[in-house]
Amino acid sequence: MTTLHDTSLRGFASDNYSGVHPEVLAAIAGANDGHQVAYGEDVYTARLQDVFAHHFGDGVQAFPVFNGTGANVVGLQSMLPRWGAVVAASTAHINTDEGGAPERVAGIKVLNVPTDDGKLTPELIDREAWGWGDEHRAQPLVVSITQSTELGTLYTAEEIRAIADHAHGLGMRVHLDGARLANAAAALDLPLRAFTRDAGVDVLSFGGTKNGAMGAEAIVVLEPAASEGLIFLRKLDMQLASKMRFVSAQLIALLEGDLWLRNARHANAMAARLRAEVEAGLAAGTIRGVGFSQATQSNGVFATLPDGVADALRERFRFYDWEAAKNEVRWMCSFDTQPEDVDALVAELARLTGV
């Protein structure tokens, strides 16, 4: 097939815009010859269990799925009865970016709490963690946090432990949306287990697609008592891959060695470079009127731009408005973002805002 797109185009809209890492493509090709049993009874999916056990400890179960929304919907559905509700930050992906799938597909009420930085605290959880036994209220039985958050911020391991201890003390379980879990681990310089299982998380969605996979996520059950019926729900919710070996092979390629960490470190470093260059431009006066609305702790930079600059800048670089009324934008870096990509964006920003 003839390549249809301009391969020189680079963007900062999403880490989903990037291609597939060559090592992941090689893993898919390596799994391709011959026949393997379908629907997860293949040697790659079996091997994947050992790989996840290496990172999260013995006794965990991994259920490969197609995408992050599927991982969140199926994982949460396995944690809740039909009358259950999940407490999440108002910015959480399950609340803002999944088309109502948790509520419409899984039948789960999302009780959202406004936060300035995308992070929950025990005190914020308590705003919606009430009303148990009240037949008029969906029962808050799970807390869902995101790491790294939709605002690019990070929970420390201690903050997650405090949330888990508080939630468990209320009889609630803890779910973690880890679409960018690798970026969090790289930024925190911690093993994956240290701020998930060891911090009290019960079930997590592990993201591979944003970190170099073609399309591979997994629901990882860290506490078996917290989840029920996943083998049935995954099929019910159309997330059971018939040729699962190709999903599992992608995750093995990322996680068996250090590819997941190399990719995440690089993406984080490019975001740090972007912020540092803009800050240097502001200090030198070559860039004017740009501010930052969030700390840059992983692979996303949240900035505010002067009127009209975002649209002008988008003529060369694709990115999204975050809150258009505030001229707030989001620049995302990925595993294949190059220093020259960052330099080009900063140079164009200087041309548009400098005097």
DSSP, collapsed to helix, strand or coil, labels residue 175 as strand
Closest CA to 245 of 44, 33, 32: 44
Examine the fold and report which residue of 257, 288, 321 is the final residue of a domain before the chain moves on.
257
Task: Give the lowest-confidence range in 1-15, 129-143, 211-225, 237-251.
Answer: 1-15
Tell me what pLDDT residue 1 has: 86
282 and 147 assigned to the same domain: no
CATH number of residue 64's parent domain: 3.40.640.10
82 and 177 assigned to the same domain: yes
Domain count across the chain:
2
CATH number of residue 287's parent domain: 3.90.1150.10
CA 2 from centre of chain: 32
The stretch 246-269 carries a mean pLDDT of: 98
Banded model confidence at residue 28, pLDDT cuts 50, 70, 90: very high
Contacts for 123 with CB less than 8 Å, ≥ 6 apart: none
88 and 230 assigned to the same domain: yes
Banded model confidence at residue 355, pLDDT cuts 50, 70, 90: low
The stretch 48-69 carries a mean pLDDT of: 98
Tell me what pLDDT residue 54 has: 98
198 and 296 assigned to the same domain: no
The stretch 201-212 carries a mean pLDDT of: 98
Residue range 216-250, pLDDT digits in tens: 999 999 999 999 999 999 999 999 999 999 999 99
Any idea which residue has 């140079």 for tokens? 347
The share of the chain scoring above pLDDT 70, in percent, equals 100
Banded model confidence at residue 30, pLDDT cuts 50, 70, 90: very high
311 pLDDT more than 90: yes
Burial (Cβ within 10 Å: 0-12, 13-18, ≥19) of residue 22: exposed
Separation between Cα atoms, residue 31 and residue 177, nearest integer Å: 28
Tell me what pLDDT residue 354 has: 82
Residue range 138-155, pLDDT digits in tens: 999 999 999 999 999 999
Stronger pLDDT, 9 or 210, i.e. the higher one: 210
Tell me what pLDDT residue 238 has: 96
The stretch 300-327 carries a mean pLDDT of: 96
Tell me what pLDDT residue 217 has: 98
45 and 142 assigned to the same domain: yes
Tell me what pLDDT residue 10 has: 85
Examine the fold and report which residue of 235, 257, 279 is the final residue of a domain before the chain moves on.
257
CA 163 from centre of chain: 19
Tell me what pLDDT residue 7 has: 87
Contact (CB, 8 A) for 99 and 252: no
Contacts for 8 with CB less than 8 Å, ≥ 6 apart: none
Examine the fold and report which residue of 257, 291, 317 is the final residue of a domain before the chain moves on.
257
32 and 92 assigned to the same domain: yes
Separation between Cα atoms, residue 13 and residue 20, nearest integer Å: 16
Separation between Cα atoms, residue 240 and residue 41, nearest integer Å: 12
The stretch 266-276 carries a mean pLDDT of: 98
Separation between Cα atoms, residue 209 and residue 100, nearest integer Å: 21
Domain hosting residue 192, numbered range: 22-257
